[in-house]
């Protein structure tokens, strides 16, 4: 996978809500080993700047890192963060928070397998200590989720990621997902994609005031249809062309 993008700290400061970014920095100022930012905030904040993100998704390397990260989350009260919901198990922590009139969620997951499948180069630590996952690993994660969900934000993120690698085809996309979840296959993705009904009201996440929720919805409906068509073509064991042709079709949609 030919991704050349590096995490951009200035983009994150400009793109992410100030309250969310302050809490993110706080986590990494605790110098917790084996802690990395993943998910939509990693993608949009540090690479794409393509949509709003209101959550912090953090992965930890082992139980010691998990305990330290959860303690850091709970100590956010020292900044003035209010918790409206908390749930915790040995390997998972979730909280819904309000800080400076901004509501967001925190998810902390202990996933040793995630750290074992990659290489050291799959993460990058920035000068201020924030450790963020790189795009090639974000693609693996996004591809692996397609067997369980294909929501509006999932498809919007996937669309951006596919646009970064002109040589990516469906076989490579599925293989990327299998590095996270061995159960990823074309049939499972097709089943979930075909059963997903997109909602225009759930597409109101653009950072560009000129791009409406309906603009995004129409683009995603087209992307969903083209991806379903490509998957059916792939499952018939015919050669799979690069997904760049699909991306070109999406870009032809009129942008208001």
Residue of higher predicted confidence among 21 and 249: 21
- If you average pLDDT over residues 99-110, what whole number do you get? 97
- 67 burial via Cβ count (<10 Å: 0-12, 13-18, 19+): middle
| Residues 6 or more apart whose Cβ sits within 8 Å of residue 28 | 35, 128, 129, 130, 131
Residue of higher predicted confidence among 253 and 110: 110
DSSP for 201-251?
GGG---SSTTS-HHHHHHHHHHHHHHHHHHHHHHHTT-----THHHHHHHH
pLDDT at position 120, please? 44
Question: What percent of the chain stands above pLDDT 90?
Answer: 78
Domain 9-133 has CATH 3.65.10.10: no
pTM, entire model:
0.88
Tell which residue, 75, 7, 10, 16, has the closest CA to residue 51: 16
Reading the block at residue 222, the tokens are 């087209």
> What does residue 139 show for φ and ψ, rounded to 5 degrees?
-65, -45
Whole-number Å distance between alpha carbons of 24 and 10? 14
Q: What is the pLDDT of residues 48-96, one digit of tens each?
A: 999 999 999 999 999 999 999 999 999 999 999 999 999 999 999 999 9
Helix (H, G, I), strand (E, B) or coil at 3: coil
**Is residue 238 very low, low, confident or very high in pLDDT (cuts 50, 70, 90)?**
low
Report helix, strand and coil shares of the chain as percent, to nearest 5: 50, 15, 35
**What b/e string do you get for 160-176 counting C-beta neighbours within 10 Å, with b at 16 or more?**
bbbbbbeebbbebbbeb
**CA 74: distance to chain centroid?**
24
Whole-number Å distance between alpha carbons of 190 and 196? 10
The DSSP bridge partners found for residue 225 are none
Domain with CATH 3.10.450.620 in the chain: 9-133
**What b/e string do you get for 125-138 counting C-beta neighbours within 10 Å, with b at 16 or more?**
ebeeebbbbbbbbb
């Amino acid at each position: 996978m030919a991704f050349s993008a590096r995490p951009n700290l200035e983009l994150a400061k400009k793109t992410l809500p100030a309250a969310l970014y302050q809490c993110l920095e706080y986590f990494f100022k605790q110098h917790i080993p084996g802690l990395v930012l993943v998910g939509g905030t990693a993608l949009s904040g540090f690479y794409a700047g393509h949509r709003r993100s209101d959550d912090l998704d953090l992965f930890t390397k082992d139980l010691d890192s998990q305990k330290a990260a959860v303690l850091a989350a709970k100590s956010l009260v020292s900044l003035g963060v209010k918790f409206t919901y908390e749930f915790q198990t040995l390997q998972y922590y979730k909280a819904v928070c309000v800080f400076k009139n901004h509501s967001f969620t925190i998810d902390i997951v202990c996933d040793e397998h995630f750290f074992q499948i990659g290489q050291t180069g799959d993460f990058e630590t920035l000068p201020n200590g924030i450790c963020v996952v790189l795009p090639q690993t974000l693609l693996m994660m996004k591809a692996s989720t397609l067997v369980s969900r294909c929501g509006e934000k999932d498809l919007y993120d996937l669309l951006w990621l596919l646009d970064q690698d002109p040589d990516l085809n469906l076989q490579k996309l599925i293989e990327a997902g299998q590095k996270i979840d061995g159960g990823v296959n074309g049939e499972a993705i097709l089943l979930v994609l075909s059963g997903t009904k997109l909602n225009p009201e759930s597409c109101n996440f653009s950072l560009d005031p000129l791009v409406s929720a309906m603009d995004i919805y129409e683009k995603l409906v087209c992307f969903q249809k083209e991806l379903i068509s490509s998957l059916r073509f792939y499952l018939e064991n015919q050669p799979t062309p690069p997904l760049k042709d699909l991306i070109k079709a999406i870009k032809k949609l009129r942008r208001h």
